[in-house]
Structure 1
């Protein structure tokens, strides 16, 4: 991945406000050429112990992606006041920007 695009992705993720979420696709659209899959890869490649709010990135269907950290992601989002409906979706009002 182009280092400039990776830096753009990480900067955008760092900017997601507490109590809000955004999607892989929305992040991709804010960059110079990333795709939603590239955003997912950048998140997957983060070193352990990083401080980025990775848990605030969800799918365009407003659900959590199926990955090993999904339980922790759900817990952290709930701790920030984000609720899930019976289908596991987050309210569109919680999306940023």
Structure 2
């Protein structure tokens, strides 16, 4: 159930709904999601994804930074999990750990 305010769904719920639209094997940037949702920053998108509970159905791993890299989180462990999940979906990283946004961008 989406929690609503007087003006509509809460910001985090809007962010989560946008991220759910990213298909497997594709990525979006924090800024791209912020622009799509409106009324928030790329950093706020990061905060929303960091607040997800374990077992969430939101494919958080599909959101990366504007340089095409996985942003560090979880003392490095979270970053490793994110990269592994993306690779399992067919996303390819180059030797510098960068995803080609022209190829894999949503």
Find the partner of 1:57 among 60, 63, 72.
63
Task: Please state whether the residue corresponding to 2:37 is helix, strand or coil.
Answer: coil
- Give RMSD over aligned pairs: 1.3
Equivalent pair of 1:5/1:32 in contact (CA under 8 Å): no
Extract unaligned runs of 5+ from structure 2.
Answer: none
Extract unaligned runs of 5+ from structure 1.
Answer: none
Larger radius of gyration: 2
TM-score (norm 1): 0.92
TM-score (norm 2): 0.84
The structure, 1 or 2, with the larger RCO (C-alpha pairs under 8 Å, 6+ apart) is 1
Distance 1:31 1:51 in 2: 18
Give matches, 1:75-94, under 5 Å.
75-92=84-101, 93-94=103-104
Distance 1:47 1:83 in 2: 27
